[in-house]
Amino acid sequence: MSKHFTVVKKDPSSRARLGHLITAHGEVETPCFMPVGTQGTVKAMLPRDLREIGCQILLGNTYHLYLRPGHEVIRALGGLHSFMGWDGPILTDSGGYQVFSLGAMRKITEEGARFQSHLDGSTHLLTPEKAVEIQEALGSDIAMTLDECIPSDATRVYVRASTERTIRWAKRCVAAREGRDQLMFGIIQGGLFEDLRRYCVEEMAPLAFEGFAVGGLGIGEGEEQLNAIGSFTVDLLPVAQPRYLMGVGRPQDIINAVRAGFDLFDCVIPTRNARNGTLYTWQGKVNIKRAEFADDGRPLDGSCGCYCCRNFSRAYLRHLYMAGEILSAQLNSLHNLYFYHRLMDKCRETIRSGHAENWTQLWQPNEDT
Amino acid sequence: MSKHFTVVKKDPSSRARLGHLITAHGEVETPCFMPVGTQGTVKAMLPRDLREIGCQILLGNTYHLYLRPGHEVIRALGGLHSFMGWDGPILTDSGGYQVFSLGAMRKITEEGARFQSHLDGSTHLLTPEKAVEIQEALGSDIAMTLDECIPSDATRVYVRASTERTIRWAKRCVAAREGRDQLMFGIIQGGLFEDLRRYCVEEMAPLAFEGFAVGGLGIGEGEEQLNAIGSFTVDLLPVAQPRYLMGVGRPQDIINAVRAGFDLFDCVIPTRNARNGTLYTWQGKVNIKRAEFADDGRPLDGSCGCYCCRNFSRAYLRHLYMAGEILSAQLNSLHNLYFYHRLMDKCRETIRSGHAENWTQLWQPNEDT
């Protein structure tokens, strides 16, 4: 068992596990959700408010920070923790996902991914070595290997070639790392093909990583495939290492993935939905824009203990949204992230207690969008 | 001396005074700055963060709240304090200023001001009685009389007629008020004509108001006229009542007005400038967009104790602004409002200490814009 991660307890009724992850900036109880701090800030959240809602670890986006303000600027300022005023753990992605989703004119070669900045059109080359260099400059606690996030409708031929390249890139990341206090996770690709997922794990598992991530899911393949490929792949991964399902997702997706054995999650859903007026309650999703809330004096969720629900009404939240007020994004983000963190609390509590019947009662998605 | 206001101390070197204002939702030490909460929120500020920076009293805008969400909605939800989660004092303006600055197709008659909503073009009539009714529905601690804010380039003939109408409207406001726990301030107009300002005070001072405001300044007349007409008019007002200079202004304007004898202030400058990247420090104004700050690891103001200056660098604030992040508005607003509140602390301390030489050292505007 590696010293940075301990499986504290296994759930008797599923493959879920309670874990303890040690990083250079503190410890993380898993299963854990990581809010996304794309540009060096979790949108609309002060770091102290993240602390208050129980946030343990943030995700930072290498692509965005590399382009603006630049990783060397952040390095010179003492690293990303100091830059963004967050002294807890930070995981950075490798930048690969954004190169493929945001960068223009991208061209993948064995060397790496060449792309044009979505900000100013300037040309850049992201290699595995560069991805490691940037993440070391940022000083994150956990770095990710450079991978290609394969579209869910890619052909088997493409997926095979891409996955093989992702494996070669992962090996180059291992070779490039200078280590010190930074953990590194390898990313498993392989699309929706079980044999390619297995192949990728077989190649990656022996490499010197402190954890593994499953990528290329939650990108339009549908809930059934997400659950099937996710649980198939996580089962192949080393049990003694933390296992991270990248970019997923909705509360029900996270519950399913926890039960399948994943330990770490990140997703923009709680914060992006917040800014769009879609809020999570224990009774289901709520579209705060709806006219019925115009004079509704009740809190969004009477059972929620967040600052938003303790102090404001649905009518006020609707008003802020309709009026385009910044406070709308602030309160909604605070609430949704609070919800996600309590959801993870409940997952951990369910594993701890061993009460299998709790899993199905954690969250029931409603029809409200 | 009226029971709601006490002049605690007079400054030996100026007309400034230290005061104590009692409202239904708490006490206010004057001179005091009121952050502007236009649409039921001080933009980008959680109420608890307003408390933390020492905010004593907020200003709410009757025009905006009347149009959206509507004063009857707010009344049914328990009033503006409950609606916006602020249990401290609130002053509401009468809506007049926004009718003239935002409303389309406005037409002033003796009855009131007819206008079209800037939101949906619907037609409304704001009378003195309506302005009182709305403010009573909002449940503010201090209501203002309906006035016409006269453009600074208006002719003497127009100013005279308008001021006379404002006086008649003020009398109708007094007649309409049901009082209870709400204080009401009369607004002095008269443009840039000293004799019309004097005439307005003579007509208004005998009316049953708990305070007086000077309106129609800070709207383009220039610093010299602002100071001259402001200090001329404040000197005519009852010394035992609180005196409020509406909508002004920059730190240097506020210092001058405090020294002239004003007690209350409001202005969008600290919050609007914050959102535009213009920040106040004790060394002067700073445009955080400037390239020189890109790698500047120092706090915005090393002598400032606000959350922003204690935790973040100029480089980070510039980055947030350049990246269009919501957190930029949050941190900048928090800092600028903290600065304004410390400025008011220093004004009060200067009066308390009687050290006349302190006035000139409070704040020196620089050339930086």
Question: Is there a contact between B362 and B347 (Cβ–Cβ < 8 Å)?
Answer: yes
Question: Is there a contact between B211 and B142 (Cβ–Cβ < 8 Å)?
Answer: yes
Nearest CA distance, B85 vs chain A (angstrom): 6
Query: Which value does ipTM take for this structure?
Result: 0.97
Active site residue A93: yes
Among the listed residues B11, B141, B253, B266, the single catalytic one is: B266
Helix (H) or strand (E) holding A203: helix A194-204
Q: Report residue B245 as tokens.
A: 């200079």
What is the per-residue burial (b if ≥16 Cβ within 10 Å, else e) of B188-213?
Answer: bbbbbbeebbbbbbebbeebebbbbb
Q: How far apart are the first and last CA of chain B?
A: 43
User: Which residue is it, tokens 């309409």?
Assistant: B176
Nearest CA distance, A20 vs chain B (angstrom): 29
- Of the candidates A342, A186, A344, A191, the residue with the CA atom closest to the CA atom of residue A265: A344
Residue A46 to residue B313, Cβ atoms within 8 A: no
| Chain B residue closest in CA terms to A40 | B320
For residue B1, the model assigns a pLDDT of 41
Residue B319 to residue A39, Cβ atoms within 8 A: yes
For residue A103, the model assigns a pLDDT of 75
Q: Report residue A326 as tokens.
A: 């910044």
For residue A369, the model assigns a pLDDT of 44
- Which residues in chain B have their CB less than 8 angstroms from residue A78's CB? 297
Mean pLDDT of B81-110: 92
pLDDT at B333 over 60: yes
For residue B101, the model assigns a pLDDT of 85
- Which residues in chain A have their CB less than 8 angstroms from residue B297's CB? 76-78
Contacts of A230 (CB under 8 A, 6+ apart): A214, A217, A245, A248, A256, A257, A260, A262
Residue A85 to residue B312, Cβ atoms within 8 A: yes
DSSP string, A66-104: HHTT-HHHHHHTT-HHHHHT--S-EEE--SHHHHHHT-E
| Chain B residue closest in CA terms to A119 | B323
Among the listed residues B11, B93, B141, B253, the single catalytic one is: B93
pLDDT at B116 over 80: yes
Q: Report d(CA A83, CA B296) in Å as an integer.
A: 11
Q: What parts of chain A have a pLDDT lower than 70?
A: 1-2, 179, 367-369
Residue B40 to residue A295, Cβ atoms within 8 A: no
Q: Report d(CA B92, CA B29) in Å as an integer.
A: 18
- Of the candidates B250, B331, B319, B320, the residue with the CA atom closest to the CA atom of residue B43: B331
Q: Which of B81, B268, B330 to mutate to test the interface with A (most CBs of A within 10 A)?
A: B330
Q: Report residue A97 as tokens.
A: 């996902």
Read off the pLDDT of residues B150-165 as tens digits, 9 standing for 90 and up. Answer: 988 999 999 999 999 9
Residues of B with CB under 8 A from a CB of A: 39-41, 43-48, 68-69, 73, 76-78, 83-85, 294-295, 297, 307, 311-313, 315-316, 318-320, 322-323, 325-327, 329-331
Among the listed residues A93, A141, A147, A253, the single catalytic one is: A93
Q: Report residue B334 as tokens.
A: 């928090």
Which letter does DSSP use for residue B275 in this model? H
For residue B103, the model assigns a pLDDT of 75
Nearest CA distance, B338 vs chain A (angstrom): 16
User: How many pairs of residues across A and B have Cβ atoms under 8 Å apart?
Assistant: 112
Mean pLDDT of B261-281: 98
Residue B40 to residue A319, Cβ atoms within 8 A: yes
Residue A295 to residue B77, Cβ atoms within 8 A: yes
For residue B99, the model assigns a pLDDT of 87
Read off the pLDDT of residues A278-305 as tens digits, 9 standing for 90 and up. Answer: 999 999 999 999 999 999 999 999 999 9
Nearest CA distance, B343 vs chain A (angstrom): 24
- Of the candidates A147, A5, A204, A186, the residue with the CA atom closest to the CA atom of residue A89: A5
Read off the pLDDT of residues B164-175 as tens digits, 9 standing for 90 and up. Answer: 999 999 999 999
pLDDT at B147 over 50: yes
Q: Which of B72, B290, B311 to mutate to test the interface with A (most CBs of A within 10 A)?
A: B311
- Which residues in chain A have their CB less than 8 angstroms from residue B46's CB? 307, 327, 330-331
Hey, CA dihedral for A230, A236, A240, A242, is it positive or negative? Answer: negative
Q: Which of A75, A311, A317, A335 to mutate to test the interface with B (most CBs of B within 10 A)?
A: A311
- Which residues in chain B have their CB less than 8 angstroms from residue A48's CB? 307
Residue A46 to residue B73, Cβ atoms within 8 A: no
Residue A77 to residue B47, Cβ atoms within 8 A: no
Q: Report residue A363 as tokens.
A: 């969250």
pLDDT at B367 over 70: no
Active site residue B93: yes
- Of the candidates A198, A190, A188, A187, the residue with the CA atom closest to the CA atom of residue A160: A190
Residue B44 to residue A73, Cβ atoms within 8 A: no
For residue A1, the model assigns a pLDDT of 41
Residue B327 to residue A294, Cβ atoms within 8 A: no
What pTM does this model have? Answer: 0.97
For residue A367, the model assigns a pLDDT of 63
Read off the pLDDT of residues B291-306 as tens digits, 9 standing for 90 and up. Answer: 999 999 999 999 999 9
Helix (H) or strand (E) holding B284: strand B284-287
Read off the pLDDT of residues B16-73 as tens digits, 9 standing for 90 and up. Answer: 999 999 999 999 999 999 999 999 999 999 999 999 999 999 999 999 999 999 999 9
Residue B39 to residue A69, Cβ atoms within 8 A: no
